[in-house]
Amino acid sequence: MIRKFTGFTALVAAIALTTFAGAEGSGANAQVAAQATETATTEAPLTEEVVPVFVENEVVQELPAQPEADSENFADDVPQADSLRALIEAMPAAGQLSEELQCLAGAVYFESRGEPLEGQLAVAKVIMNRAEDRRWPSSYCAVVYQRSQFSFVKNGRMPRIRTGSTAWKRAQAIARIAHRGLWNSSAEDAVYFHAKYVRPGWSRRKVAVATIDTHVFYR
């Protein structure tokens, strides 16, 4: 009986010793792992610090060139003609005119569409000459819409144009011809004009340069 108890006691002691040793071993392993992790963290190579570089001068990126708004200044083909009428007929299709040429053609259309072609060209020349003269605004549209200058302008607006009419197509062609200087006018330097059936007071102080059908032109 005593031997059995002694053997049982020895067995319990052995199990306890094994359990303690295993626990101690686990603790040692955990400590070793923690130390390894700390060492790895401590000894991890540092990444190179990125330092921003500031330039003293402004850096400007060039933008691609934009197409010109008014292609009439850069047209390649100049029609050859021996008369203004032939030149108008030879002008290629206008497409969409720039705003400035729309204003110029509008003035030709409303002021002189019933006049001969030479008279319509002379009206265009008056608009252009004013835009180049310091006494008037510096653009076709500003000249056309200037207050109390052209009777067809109402409340700062141009009346509706019959865009499908032959008169409008002709006015567009004349505006382009005048703008590009493709045909000289007998009223080349004129800046005023009026109908022959009226005699405005200012006309007495101006020099008449041409009379074309029902219009008299002055400088």
Report pLDDT for 72: 54
CA gap 212, 43 in Å, rounded: 99
Q: Which two tokens stand for residue 14?
A: 């052995």
Interval 175-186 mean pLDDT: 97
Rounded to whole angstroms, the Cα distance separating 133 from 140 reads 11
Q: pLDDT digits over 85-107, tens only?
A: 999 999 987 678 999 999 999 99
| CA dist., res. 215 & res. 192, Å (int) | 10
Amino acid at 158: M
How does pLDDT run across 5-61, given as a tens digit for each residue?
444 444 444 444 444 444 444 444 444 444 544 444 444 444 445 444 444 544 444
DSSP assignments along 33-76, one per residue: HHHHHHHHHHHSPPPPPPPP---SSPP-PPPPPPPPS-GGGG-S
Give the CA count within 13 Å in the CB-facing half-sphere of 161: 23
Cα 193 to Cα 130: distance, rounded to the nearest angstrom: 12
Element (H, E) at 209: strand 208-212
129 Cβ contact partners less than 8 Å away, ≥ 6 residues apart: 189, 190, 191
Q: Any idea which of 2-16, 80-94, 200-214 has the lowest mean pLDDT?
A: 2-16
What count of other Cβ atoms lies within 10 Å of the Cβ of residue 129? 18
Could you read off the pLDDT of 103-142 as tens digits, one per residue? 999 999 999 999 999 999 999 999 999 999 999 999 999 9
pLDDT at 94: 65
Residue 68 has pLDDT above 90, yes or no: no
**What does the block give as tokens for 22?**
């295993």
Burial label, 144 (beta-carbon count in 10 A; 0-12, 13-18, 19+): buried
Check residue 151 and report its DSSP letter. Answer: T
Q: Specify the pLDDT at position 24.
A: 45
CA 177, 180, 184, 186 torsion: positive or negative? positive
For range 173-183, the mean pLDDT? 97
Provide the pLDDT for residue 66. Answer: 37
What whole-number distance in Å separates Cα of residue 34 and Cα of residue 55?
47
